[in-house]
Structure 1
């Protein structure tokens, strides 16, 4: 199964909260309480997101965290890369691949194309779109709404 980690999911939830009030500074404790996430997890994510230059932090009593740039300039691809690393479907899809089978496997080029398509999709969805309560409209993708029990 292809799935993002809980840490990445929590990072997106955290960033969406910040995107909803972009000019506001949030303390890590406030974010943890508002989102119902463990404080150590929120602190870890905030550090990773600052390191990835998606957030800025201000120290002091009036300090906190806020988006480093406008939410419409942050993509799902940026968020995933900040926590998981670069988007790649297989080892050979990475630019600095160390795969020993790449010369004889016969599928590396196609996996690279799938990875590129996935990256383009993830780069087309912004934090602004994720932070909204309405479903995202992707004109070139047909998505049927399923409930969790129908999907399984």
Structure 2
């Protein structure tokens, strides 16, 4: 079975949540909204920032924001950032030395079109396609303060006995 790593899956979820929330979000806020452990969210954000998919902002109002719209990010961008090059086999694109049967392999070099097809399919899917319409936002404690417009009425005093 061909399967993406959990970290890649989490990266897609974090990017989709960043888009839904808009603006700058902190790792703790994203962790609370996604249900992913905060250390994992922090690790994912660091990897995504290194790849330029998110921007880290320092300071009192710091956090992370998207580096570009989800419609301009492909699934292959995220996989490449988190897991590295996309290939089904070790002998891809003319690479050598990754297999002990390389010299006698009857399908050597034949995987390249398959790998290209997989890369093409993953490059054709934007994260906006995966995320779908923006879901309602999740505001964790401390990120959005309720506005108090008036104080509740005080109850009437009890009659004296």
Name 1:8's counterpart in structure 2. 8
Q: How does 1:2-151 map to 2 (within 5 A)?
A: 2-22=2-22, 24-93=23-92, 96-100=95-99, 101-132=101-132
Q: Distance in 1 between matches of 2:75 and 2:52?
A: 14
Q: Write out per-residue CA displacement over residues 102-140 of structure 1, whole angstroms, 9 at most, x where no aligned residue.
A: 44312132211110000000000001111105xxxxxxx
User: Following the alignment from structure 2 to structure 1, what is the Cα–Cα distance between the partners of residues 72 and 61?
Assistant: 26
Could you say if the C-alpha distance between residues 67 and 8 of structure 1 is closer, same or farther in structure 2, counting changes exceeding 3 Å?
Answer: same
Structure 2: where are the runs of 5+ without partners?
Answer: 134-161
| Cα distance between partner residues in 2 of 1:71 and 1:21 | 13
User: Who wins on radius of gyration, i.e. which is larger?
Assistant: 2
1:95 and 1:50 map into 2 onto residues whose CA distance is 31
Mapped partners of 2:40, 2:73: distance in 1: 21
- Corresponding residue pairs, total: 132
Q: Deviations over 1:27-65 (max 9, x none)?
A: 010000000110100011100000111110101111111
Q: In structure 1, how many angstroms separate the alpha carbons of the residues matched to 2:94 and 2:54?
A: 26
TM-score by length of 1: 0.80
The CA deviation at 1:95 is 6.0
Deviates further, 96-105 or 62-71: 96-105
C-alpha distance in structure 1 between counterparts of 2:89 and 2:75, whole Å: 19
Alpha-carbon distance change, 33 to 19 in structure 1, aligned in 2, over 3 angstroms: same
> Is the contact between residue 75 and residue 123 of structure 2 (CA under 8 Å) also seen in structure 1?
yes
* Rounded Cα–Cα distance in structure 2 between residues aligned with 1:64 and 1:118: 34
- Structure 1: unaligned runs, 5 residues or longer: 134-152
For the Cα contact (< 8 Å) 1:88–1:94, is it kept in 2? Answer: no
Contact 2:94–2:109 (CA<8 Å) still a contact in 1? no
User: If the length of structure 2 is used for normalisation, what is the TM-score?
Assistant: 0.76
